[in-house]
A and B are shown apart, each in its own frame.
Chain A
Amino acid sequence: MMFRGLLHSLKEAFIQIFRNRVMSFVSILSISAMLIILGVFFFITVNVNSLTEAIKSEFENIEIYLEDYTTEKDAEAIAISLSSLEEVSQIQYISKETAMEEFKERWGENAYLLDTLSENPLPNSLRVTLSDISGGSLVAEVAGTMIGVEDVRYFQSEVNKVLRISEGVQKLTLIMIIFLIVVSVVVVSSTVKLTVMSREAEISIMKYVGATNWFVRGPMLVEGVLMGAISAAIALGASTYAYLKLTELFGADIQMLFSNGLVEPGFMIVNLAYIFVALGVSIGAVGSIISMRRFLKV
């Protein structure tokens, strides 16, 4: 029973999409376009987020660069006296060798460039992890006055700025996504409405001979869902291609520039696939339900 109903719906939906092929085509194109735009926003948000995270994790600690003459023992003394501050949760000694390794790791494929350096220009340092970020400036100030300290790197206000930008991007994305979804629902609903209107006589006769609402609704729901699914497939194909191209062309540059690469294509595409299919299908379903609600009252 269930299966036969689904089969009937599928058959009718295909016939209907073919009959309204111009409108169906336009709808599919516009949903694809909107999904692709959405994909672009997703791409931007995810990358901005990952960049923000990277920046945060890199700069949320206070780096205390030590003078060359500061021995490891002196460093330990500095660390102990800083530990008495309650804002400090942990202090880690980073030798210049360790620093270089971290640096190379960050440069990835381009790390060989660093091999040309004759001597390690990086200083020994102390990395201070804060228990309370708001007290960061105080710790940085205290550390700056200590003997044996060359420089203190702490960029709280800069990190905050980046965080704010990232939040802004997220909000903008959310607004755009909602707007695009609304537009797409309207597009689908007007296409399915064409179907409903072209079949008004048929629907009223169906109702007279005792068709259930679902018997009438099924094919149109499937029609909407099918259009959504096709759009999702198109959008996914286009986005995958574009993203692969993009990482291929600019991935390395971005890695160099921000010391953090683009989000991995595999992750991106799998997530886009979920989003596109879920959105496409629900847009199709909601669009058709909206358009046929008032026609079922016979």
Chain B
Amino acid sequence: MIKFEHVTKKYDEVGGIEDVSIDIADGDFVFLVGPSGAGKSTFIKLISKELEPDSGHIYVNGQDITHLSNRRIPVLRRQIGMVFQDFRLLPNKTVYENVAFAMEVVRCTSRTIRRTVPQVLQVMGIADKADQLPDTLSQGEQQRVAIARAIVNNPKLLIADEPTGNLDPDTAWEIMKLLAQINRRGTTIVMVTHAKEIVDRMGRRVVAIDSGHIVRDNKEGEYGYDV
């Protein structure tokens, strides 16, 4: 699903990644761990084409995305769902509208939208919140909305940037169960996290990045850092 070949992306100051090569298979569930500024965000932004690599090659879903014209970037992003620590919901739109929005953007018909959104909200367990504004929801519920938005277009790849960072442990675990469920359906998931218990408890592949290099890549790994 994702393949990096000797990818380097350096900034003027510090950070970035250097000569990173990795292969993430279809349907994989990968935790990306490492200290702040180690290059995790760079890694993710290279996949979503927010950044252009200095050298090396990047493939996503079999396609070489190393250099992509501005017109092709949206096409790439439609294959990727993104979830963030701060949810990034639109405060003036209801839960339903926030999810429907992602479908409008890719020009789905309103009939498809009306049929699909309730299903996804159902799967996320927030069907009863459809008409509420994000502010009236709990943090966990808001993240469910964000995940619903990320998967509503059936992406092959879901990138989650510290999705549980703002959540209490119980809520975080609920979110993880949802992500695991999405993964079981075949969606590849790359999740950046600092949550040791979650990583250890899930027992999935763990890729540790430090100072721009991959320092560890375990198939059923543990967090491996003292938080």
Q: Hey, which bits of chain A sit against chain B, CB under 8 A?
A: 1, 4-5, 8, 201-202, 204-213, 215, 298
Contacts and interface: CB of A to CB of B under 8 A. Distances in A.
Given A8-B104, A210-B105, A298-B50, A205 B74 contact: no
A211 to B, nearest CB: 4
A213 B78 contact: no
Nearest to A199: B90
A214 to B, nearest CB: 9
B154 to A, nearest CB: 12
Given A201-B90, A207-B77, A213-B74, 18 more contacts: A4-B107, A5-B107, A202-B90, A204-B88, A207-B74, A208-B82, A209-B153, A210-B75, A210-B80, A210-B105, A210-B106, A211-B74, A211-B105, A211-B106, A213-B71, A215-B74, A215-B107, A298-B50
Nearest to B75: A210
A298 B101 CA distance: 18
Contacts of A213: 70-71, 74
A200 to B, nearest CB: 11
Nearest to A215: B105
A201 B105 contact: no
A209 B107 contact: no
Contact of A209 (B70, B71, B149): B149
B107 A1 contact: yes
Chain A interface main SS type: helix
A211 B105 CA distance: 5
A20 B105 CA distance: 23
A221 B75 CA distance: 22
B143 to A, nearest CB: 15
Contacts, number: 50
A212 B74 contact: yes
Interface string B70-102: 110011111110100000101000000000011
Q: Which of B74, B75, B90, B101 has the largest number of chain A CB atoms within 10 A?
A: B74
B48 interface: yes
A8 B105 CA distance: 10
B214 to A, nearest CB: 25
A212 B153 contact: no
Contacts of B79: 210
Given A209-B149, A211-B74, A201 B88 contact: yes
A87 to B, nearest CB: 66
Contacts of A5: 107
Contacts of B74: 207, 210-213, 215
Contacts of B71: 212-213
B185 to A, nearest CB: 19
Nearest to A216: B105
A60 B111 CA distance: 74
A3 to B, nearest CB: 11
B100 to A, nearest CB: 11
Contact of A206 (B50, B75, B105): B105
Contacts of B104: 8
A209 B90 contact: no
B102 A209 contact: yes
B88 A209 contact: no
Nearest to A206: B105
B50 A205 contact: no
A202 B218 CA distance: 38
Contact of A208 (B48, B75, B107): B48
A74 B149 CA distance: 100
Given A8-B104, A215-B105, A298-B50, A205 B77 contact: no
